[in-house]
Structure 1
Amino acid sequence: MISGPRAIVLFATLLVLATAAAFGLSRLYATPRTLDLTPPPEYVAAPVPVTADLPAATPVSGQLVDQDWLERTARRTGIPTPALRAYADAQISRVGGCDIGWTTLAGIGWVESHHGTIDGRSLTVDGRSEPPIIGVALDGVGPVAAIRATPESTAWHGDPTWEHAVGPMQFLRSSWEPWAADGDRDGVMDPHDLDDAAATAARYLCASGHDLDSGTTWASAIHSYNHAQEYVDAVHAAATAYAQRAAR
């Protein structure tokens, strides 16, 4: 087991400082379309819970993050321990090949599925949502795009007509396959396993080849995950809140 609580908290603190400094710029982040991603005044991030009585966790096989840090930070942030383990291990392992903080992955995990607990689901000790998470049909109705299912993706979600994102980090099969990673090193790559999904998200976000340690590269990466300003704002708000609470 690798013990790295101080390094992780330091990175979380640096993320807060870097993103706070970036918000002082008139042109906050550069993307291919040069968007102004400053959160609008009326924007209010979804609340991030703080749970004081999370049960203690037993280290799992292959875990990289220090157990004391894991339990302490889970209590401070309210992130379920299996989810926090997945995010922290993805950072420590550098599975994506770039510097990406656990807070960034936690911000995405919160926005996508409340760390696998959305709609009253429970998260098992090995990082699986019960029941599994299947996203809405991407049928072109309302704000969603129209994406036809393939035989391969139908095997994931059961819909022969329309595509669905699956798992706690909400991957389409087409975006999963190029970046899939075995986050818990059990020999299986499964989008419903948060250890694998967090590691795969890290690989996807690092695909540009840049470290996510500046406002420009960070926002471009998050924007590639979901092409919406509101999404980048929400992930930024959650990631920053988690970094602040972890550093208390």
Structure 2
Amino acid sequence: MRFRSWGRAAAGRALIALILVAAVGTCGWLLVEPPGEQVRAAADVVPPEPPSGNAALASAPTVLEPNAPVQAQAPQEQGRSELEKWAAGLSGPLDIPERALIGYATGELTLREEDPGCHLSWVTLAGIGKASTNHGRFGGGSLAADGTLTKALGAVPLTGAAGEAATESRGGPMQLTQAEWQRAGGRGDIQDIDDASVAAGRTLCAGNTDLQSGQGWWKAIEHYRDSDLFRQQALGNAQLYAQLSLDPASASAPSVRATRFALDQLGLPYVWGGNGPDAGAAGFDCSGLTKAAYDAAGVNLLRTADMQFRSTPAVAEPKMGDLVFYGNPATRIHHVGLYLGNGLMINAPTQGMAIQIATYRTRTDDYAGASRPAA
């Protein structure tokens, strides 16, 4: 059995620092692997030993300073037909049912009127909806034309490659507790995406929260559900949806498909030489994750971070799906992540840590540049 421990960050900041098993003075999202032989990469390519101890933390980013998701394409109050047209245009590229998008937009439009200082965006609700019930599709369910679930949902476990059991009594497409539902007014049907999105918005906006600030956004998500995996999933998918809403035509690009794959691996453990569950490993190492992500997108990458750095076209500034590297270009690149956008990356940091979203630049990193394996 794998042991999980979730830490917290310095007071007053929306930070999650990621720590090694040996506890070196930071705190964060920790996965301790049981003793035993680690799975190596394919026999013909064995990755170099990762840096250890304080050196590993000093050389690659190990904190998350979340920004609010980028400004998305916003719905406008122009009548139901216009809202349906807006949802129809985004549903396919975002892989969100049209009826769910209408519900999330209803939440934004309602809170825009009730609490304009909160700055609630539909992408925040969509990130929560994805992490909670896959937009009402958990267990083969769906949303009816009136917005209600065809199969009522109680508490749902978090899904994805890692997964996490449900530990609280929750319900509906937005997985609200009864206490949250009642505090948000308790009117309507918790199984209805419109009513649930409005209630979720009121829950997020409670206490004069401003979701435009990174700290305010992260604290609101923390209060919504006490799970680091949930918060990472909500953050990653909200960021993905915001960017795709601005460029829906890019949804089928290999870079986006690779990003979706990487987001699905959040919470798996770092395993040196690991190529993921499909290859018989409990998790991935840094370059194993990026290679698997691009394999899923139909693009073949070489196996190690150093090889990927030297075989993919460099770019001055990363975009979503680009690779970001750490190390010395003249000698060896020791780490790679996949850029999510908005200053964030998805990566398998080092031993003892989960695959997670982190800030891609810090004052103490040894950032070596970015590359674009495919458009």
TM-score, normalization: structure 2? 0.42
Displacement after TM superposition at 1:144 (Å)? 5.6
Cα distance between partner residues in 1 of 2:82 and 2:218? 26
Q: Which has the higher contact order (CA 8 A, sep 6+)?
A: 1
Question: Which residue in 2 is equivalent to 1:191?
Answer: 190
Partner of 1:123, secondary structure, is coil
Greater helix share, 1 or 2?
A: 1
Paired positions, count: 175
Q: Partner residue of 2:110? A: 93
List runs of 5+ in structure 1 lacking aligned partners: 1-25, 42-61, 146-162, 182-187
**Closer, same or farther in 2 for the Cα pair 1:210/1:222, shift >3 Å?**
same
Percent identity between the aligned chains?
31
Using the alignment, how far apart are the partners of 1:64 and 1:176 within structure 2?
A: 29
Q: Is this contact kept in 2: 1:65–1:85, CA < 8 A?
A: no
Report the CA distance between 1:171 and its aligned residue: 1.6
CA distance in 1, matches of 2:151, 2:233: 25
State which of 184, 205, 223 in structure 2 corresponds to 1:179. Answer: 184
Contact 2:132 2:156 in 1 (8 A): no
Taking the aligned partners of 1:234 and 1:39, their CA distance within structure 2 comes to 14
Equivalent in the alignment of 2:205: 206
Q: How does 1:1-248 map to 2 (within 5 A)?
A: 30=13, 35-36=16-17, 63=80, 66-94=83-111, 97=115, 98-135=118-155, 145=167, 164-180=169-185, 189-248=188-247
Shift of 1:227: 1.7
Moved more, 89-98 or 74-83: 89-98
Letter in 1 for 2:126: A
Contact 2:209–2:220 at 8 Å: present in 1 too?
no
Structure 1 residues 28 and 39, CA, compared in 2 at 3 Å: closer, same or farther? farther
The structure number with the bigger radius of gyration is: 2
User: RMSD between aligned alpha carbons?
Assistant: 3.2
Q: Residues 81 and 29 from structure 1, CA distance in 2 versus in 1: closer, same or farther, beyond 3 angstroms?
A: farther
Separation in 2, partners of 1:177, 1:123: 23
CA contact (8 A) 1:109 1:115 kept: yes
How far is the alpha carbon of 1:164 from its aligned partner?
A: 2.6
Structure 2 distance, partners of 1:206, 1:245, is 25
Q: In structure 2, how many angstroms separate the alpha carbons of the residues matched to 1:103 and 1:28?
A: 27
**Partners in 2 of 1:136 and 1:114 — Cα distance?**
10
Asked if structure 1 preserves the Cα contact closer than 8 Å seen for 2:156 and 2:175, the reply is no
Query: In structure 2, how many angstroms separate the alpha carbons of the residues matched to 1:30 and 1:167?
Result: 32
List structure 1 segments (4+ residues) > 4 angstroms apart after TM superposition: 26-29, 37-41, 142-145
Deviation string for 1:171-207 (max 9, x for gaps)? 22122101136xxxxxx51100110000000000000
> Counterpart of 2:169 in structure 1: which amino acid?
H
The 1:174/1:64 distance shift into structure 2, 3 A limit, reads: farther
Q: Map Cα deviations across residues 30-85 of structure 1 (whole Å, 9 max, x no partner).
A: 35xx64488889xxxxxxxxxxxxxxxxxxxx748633222101122111111100
> Aligned partners of 2:81 and 2:222: how far apart in 1?
29
Q: Which digits, 9 at most, give the CA deviation of each residue in 1:123-148, with x for residues without a partner?
A: 111111121111169xxxx9665xxx
